[in-house]
Structure 1
Amino acid sequence: MKDVLKMAPQQCDLLKPLFSAPSNNSSSHKYPEGKEFAVCLVHDVGIISPSLPNVFYYCYRHMKKGSIKNGFKMLFSRFSRQFNPFFNFEKLIELERKYGAISGFYFSVLNKGEKGYNYNISDLACELKNIRENGWEVGFLGSPDSLFDLEEIVSRKMKLEDVLRDKVVGYVDPFNSLNNPENWIILYQAGFEYMTAFVDPVNHFGESVCYPFRAYDPEIKDVDITVLPLNVIDFNASESFGNANLNDDDDIENTWESIKKIIDYVSECSGILTLRFPSEAMIGNGLFFYERILSYCSKKNVWMTSGKKITDWWRSFHT
């Protein structure tokens, strides 16, 4: 659990949005339904079909924590979706609906044999349809083989749209490519309207900004990509939650207090908090902590929604 705190030295003071706070003017941007701040919920979908090493790894973790039932489920997960905890889209949708939230699921479009290949997007037509018909978002998860290649990323995006039978406008950047302006142009030309990306704290004031912004470079013209800073909770946090010892009250509460401070900081300056929780981390303790975050946020006057809805709202008065 201590890995989480590495993200927030001095008990999250580093993540206090000092740059955003003085720029806050509540009269200049009203969130829908009079909400005071917003939380953007992101789930990148990297693993659906666990490999044999993953099956044994997760089985061992469950058994070690005394969860015999979940351990046996993992053993059968490669043979039946009924026992596969990574087919958890409906479960996450119902959980978020319980707290008045919606989110986005971002899928990779990889070819067999490529690094990270775990599923064929064409096999998930029913799942994608269900996500879309429930009002949740389906987006695109970046891959190294399509990075900086317009033709390749357009081809993969079109494949996802063909399976979804709808337009895809959101891109999750797992490679910190925001630092390369060339990628902004490619994403814009490919038809993406926004990207969620880790924002380099040195070059982009990443840990001091909790508002979307438009990617800008003085030498680039006509690039209209909205950036949702992904600089608060990421895969490392989810993994730490998944490894949490639920019998260690101090361990849990120290981590929870850090997360609460991040949420409270953003709330105080009416900002937007982007939370990225991979769907494969939303099992066991990871799901427990995620629900705790949703529950805490729901008690505040907060708008918990998807990247597309945040972007549409933001663009409505930043054109």
Structure 2
Amino acid sequence: MLPGYEFELCLTHDVDRPYKGIQAPYYALSDRNPRHLKGLLPGVNPWWQFEEIMELEDSLGVRSAFYFLQEESIFNKSPDEWLTPRYWIEHLGRYDLFDTDILDVLHELDDGGWEIGLHGSYDSYDDPDALREQKTALEAALGHTVRGGRQHHLNRGESTWNHHREIGLKYDATLGSSSECGFQHGYEVKRPFDDDFLVFPLTMMDIAVADPGTKFETAWDTCEQLLDEAAENDAVMTILWHPRMFADEFPGHRRLYRKLIEGALERGAWVGPPGDLCDRLSPLTTKPTGTANLHGP
């Protein structure tokens, strides 16, 4: 799609829960592994992986997108929804964009060339007012506008793309699956309104591949097949790796992510965040513009 490249690989991270807290006992019981309880020790936060991701990507000369979430409080919902476990899970994992640590990492990422985007809250896919408020808050914390993002849990309705376009987003990266890998939605970005609003289909999520901690070669085989398919079809390939998956308690994910990027670069791919590729593909009346990843021509 871009001159001089075999295909494009877009790197994304959904910042769901940068702090590990109440989830620790759940994972310790479900995995029958007490290592997860380390997340409850004072001063320990294994899910804060921003610096590690920045260091990894910087060593490869690439950048990615981080989508920040502003989940609603369960107490803002109707009383009959207070008994829904899903909403309590989302409520207990909430974080504040204006906390000092979050503000600092937002600006560190932005200053370093990483993209900051919107991760719409669980129910906002069908609530344009909530989406607009969340976008406004994120932009206030960041200090400038954002170009796109993805809905939490890949939630999407018939009007979600309309809502995104109406609040000023330039692209959406929600279309896809959390359980299947592949190009089920084609090899190209989509233009649902025949204008400059783009949709980046999700090719692979971290939890959709075999556990690289126990079946690394199986997981890599899946990644390698997708990279080859992308190169053969001049595709736009988009992947999602949650920051917490880079923690030691999820062994193999950091190694697999690095190898996937290296494999793309070896195959002559452009690698970067969707927002950068969006800029290079839009508007329709111009040729691709912008800067490539540091390894590209």
CA distance in 2 between partners of 1:172 and 1:291 (Å): 23
1:184 aligned onto 2:151: no
Partner of 1:147, secondary structure, is helix
Compute the displacement of 1:102 (Å).
0.6
Compute the displacement of 1:237 (Å).
2.5
1:196 aligned onto 2:189: no
Compute the displacement of 1:108 (Å).
0.7
Q: How does 1:180-259 map to 2 (within 5 A)?
A: 180=158, 182-199=159-176, 207=184, 209-216=186-193, 224-230=196-202, 232-237=203-208, 240-241=210-211, 244-245=213-214, 251-259=215-223
CA distance in 2 between partners of 1:60 and 1:93 (Å): 31
CA distance in 1 between partners of 2:282 and 2:268 (Å): 22
Match of 1:74 among 19, 24, 39: 39
Partner of 1:139, secondary structure, is strand
Deviations 1:51-105 (A, max 9, x none): 33x22355679995xxx9x6574342xx32xx31211112101101111211000
Partners of 1:215 and 1:224 within 8 A in 2: no
Q: Quickly say closer, same or farther: Cα 1:318–1:199, change in 2 above 3 A.
A: farther
CA distance in 2 between partners of 1:74 and 1:294 (Å): 29
More helix by share: 1
1:49 aligned onto 2:45: no
Q: Quickly say closer, same or farther: Cα 1:59–1:101, change in 2 above 3 A.
A: farther
Structure 2: which 5+ residue stretches go unaligned?
76-86, 287-297
1:283 corresponds to which letter in structure 2?
Answer: A
The residue aligned with 1:25 is none
Partner of 1:213, secondary structure, is coil
Partners of 1:41 and 1:305 within 8 A in 2: yes
Compute the displacement of 1:318 (Å).
6.0
Q: How does 1:148-187 map to 2 (within 5 A)?
A: 148-176=126-154, 180=158, 182-187=159-164
Q: Quickly say closer, same or farther: Cα 1:109–1:176, change in 2 above 3 A.
A: closer
CA distance in 2 between partners of 1:215 and 1:111 (Å): 29
Partner of 1:153, secondary structure, is helix
**Identity of matched residues, %:** 23
Q: How does 1:94-173 map to 2 (within 5 A)?
A: 94-113=55-74, 115=87, 116-117=90-91, 118=93, 119-123=95-99, 124-173=102-151
Match of 2:245 among 281, 289, 292: 281
Deviations 1:220-275 (A, max 9, x none): xx875210011x2114226x436x32xxxxx3222211210011100112211100
1:55 corresponds to which letter in structure 2?
Answer: A
Partners of 1:42 and 1:276 within 8 A in 2: yes
Q: Quickly say closer, same or farther: Cα 1:136–1:254, change in 2 above 3 A.
A: same
Compute the displacement of 1:310 (Å).
1.1
1:44 corresponds to which letter in structure 2?
Answer: D
CA distance in 1 between partners of 2:226 and 2:110 (Å): 30
Q: Quickly say closer, same or farther: Cα 1:112–1:149, change in 2 above 3 A.
A: closer
With structure 2 as the length reference, what TM-score do the two structures score? 0.78
Deviations 1:275-301 (A, max 9, x none): 011112222322222122122223221
Partners of 1:173 and 1:198 within 8 A in 2: no
The residue aligned with 1:26 is none
Partners of 1:101 and 1:303 within 8 A in 2: no
Structure 1: which 5+ residue stretches go unaligned?
1-28, 217-221, 246-250
Partner of 1:241, secondary structure, is coil
CA distance in 1 between partners of 2:192 and 2:146 (Å): 19
With structure 1 as the length reference, what TM-score do the two structures score? 0.73
Q: Quickly say closer, same or farther: Cα 1:208–1:225, change in 2 above 3 A.
A: closer
